[in-house]
Amino acid sequence: MNASDITAMSPFVAAILVAAGVILVDLAWPGRRTAALLVTFAGLAIVAALTVAVGQAGTTAFNGSYRVDSLTTFLDLLFISISALTAAFAPDYLGERKLPVAEFNAVLLFAMSGAMLIAGSADLIVLFLGLELMVLPGYLLAGFHKTDGFSTEGAIKYFLLGSFSSAIFLFGIAFVFGMTGSTRIDAVSSNLAQVVAGTAPFSPALGLGLAFLMTGVAFKIAAVPFHYWTPDAYQGSPTPVTGYLSVGPKVGAFAVIIRLFAGALLPMAAQWNIMIMVLAALTMTLGNLVALTQDNVKRMLAYSSIAHTGYMLVGFAAFAAGQIQGLEGLLYYGAAYAFMNLGAFAVIAALQRRTGVSSNLATFAGLVKREPALAWLMTLFLLSLTGIPPTAGFFGKFYVILAAVQAGQTNQWMNVLAVLTVLNAAAAAFYYLRVVVYMFMRDPDAEVSVAAHGRLVWTGLTVTTVMTIVLGFFPGLLLDMVSTAAKAIG
CA distance 237 to 148: 9
* pTM, two decimal places: 0.94
Per-residue pLDDT tens for 330-365?
999 999 999 999 999 999 988 887 766 677 888 888
What pLDDT, on a 0 to 100 scale, did the predictor assign at position 448?
A: 61
Residue 253 CA to chain centroid, in angstroms? 7
Name the pLDDT band for 169 (thresholds 50, 70, 90): very high
Is the pLDDT at 17 greater than 80, yes or no?
Answer: yes
What pLDDT, on a 0 to 100 scale, did the predictor assign at position 13?
A: 92
Q: What is the total residue count of the chain?
A: 490
Is the pLDDT at 68 greater than 80, yes or no?
Answer: yes
Is the pLDDT at 311 greater than 90, yes or no?
Answer: yes
CA distance 407 to 405: 5
SS3 string, the chain, reads: CCHHHHHHHHHHHHHHHHHHHHHHHHHHCCCCHHHHHHHHHHHHHHHHHHHHHHHHHCCEECCCCEECCHHHHHHHHHHHHHHHHHHHHHHHHHHHCCCCHHHHHHHHHHHHHHHHHHHCECEHHHHHHHHHHHHHHHHHHHCCCCCCHHHHHHHHHHHHHHHHHHHHHHHHHHHHHHHHCCCEHHHHHHHHHHHHHCCCCCCHHHHHHHHHHHHHHHHHCCCCCCCCHHHHHHHHCCHHHHHHHHHHHHHHHHHHHHHHHHHHCHHHHHHHHHHHHHHHHHHHHHHHHHHCCCCEHHHHHHHHHHHHHHHHHHHHHHHHCCCHHHHHHHHHHHHHHHHHHHHHHHHHHHHCCCCCCCCEHHHHCCHHHHCHHHHHHHHHHHHHHHCCCCCHHHHHHHHHHHHHHHHCCCCHHHHHHHHHHHHHHHHHHHHHHHHHHHHHHCCCCCCCCCCCCCHHHHHHHHHHHHHHHHHHHCCHHHHHHHHHHHHHCC
Name the pLDDT band for 80 (thresholds 50, 70, 90): very high
Name the pLDDT band for 98 (thresholds 50, 70, 90): confident
Per-residue pLDDT tens for 385-418?
999 999 999 999 999 999 999 998 888 889 999 9
